[in-house]
Each structure stands twice: as C-alpha cells, then as structure tokens.
Structure 1
Amino acid sequence: MDERTERNCIICGEPKTEGIHIVSEFICDACEAEMVHTDVQEEKYHFFIHQMKQIWVQKNA
C-alpha cells in the first residue's frame, strides 16, 4: 500500500496518511503517540483498549 494513501484511524476515526498498520487496520501517528504515553490509570486508557479490540473483532468477523 502507498505510504501516502489516506486511511481512517481506528482510534480517532480521522483520515490520515502517517501511522502504523496492525493486521488490516490503521492507527495514526498522533493516536499511537497518545496511547504510548497514556497511563493505565487514566480513563482514556480504557477507550484505547476498546478501540484496539475492534482490530481482532473485525479480523475474526
């Protein structure tokens, strides 16, 4: 896939060009950075976990 192709981030839902691909899903650089720096005690951490689970749900659907 072309690196410059816009994909919707599975975390924020925004179309972005820079990020990582996990299985068949895309996470933008900004969301990846925020996830890495989010403490497990923060409420946002649970949101990230929920969104990441969608990767496996969609893969096995």
Structure 2
Amino acid sequence: MEEAQHMCKCIICGETKHEEEGIRIVTEFICEDCEIDIVATDVLDEKYPFYIHQMRQIWVQRNA
C-alpha cells in the first residue's frame, strides 16, 4: 500500500514540494534546490542576505 506524500511549502522560494524533496529545520521546510543554493552561496554573494532573512523565519515564528 502506497503512503500519501506530504506537500510542504519552502520558506525560501515559496514553492510547494513533496516533503521528501527537502529538509525540515524545527517546523519549517527548505526544498532541496534551495538547500543546494544556500550551501553553495558565498557570504559575499548578493543572495546571502536574502537567505539569512528567510531562514530567520524559523526562529522568529517559533519565538513569537
């Protein structure tokens, strides 16, 4: 019997993907594509502040 796949919304890109296509940090989901981009992004890259801002949602929502 096939299990139902859970869909999750990525806190970085906003796309909805299968839970197996990413990681969970606390209660939030980051898709595999964004995870790869984050890991490959240098701190001097213009995308870096965006990723930091989006990932802060993990702790802000939990501590609200």
What TM-score do you get using the length of structure 2 for normalisation?
Answer: 0.88
Question: What is the alpha-carbon distance in structure 2 between the residues aligned to residue 8 and residue 32 of structure 1?
Answer: 14
Aligned equivalent of 1:53: 56
Q: 1:5 — aligned with what?
A: 6
* Same amino acid, percent of matched pairs: 62
- Structure 1: runs of 5+ lacking an equivalent: none
Partners in 1 of 2:22 and 2:4 — Cα distance? 9
Matched residue type, 1:40: V
Unmatched 5+ residue regions in structure 2? none
Larger radius of gyration: 2
Root mean square deviation, CA, Å = 1.5
Aligned residue pair count: 60
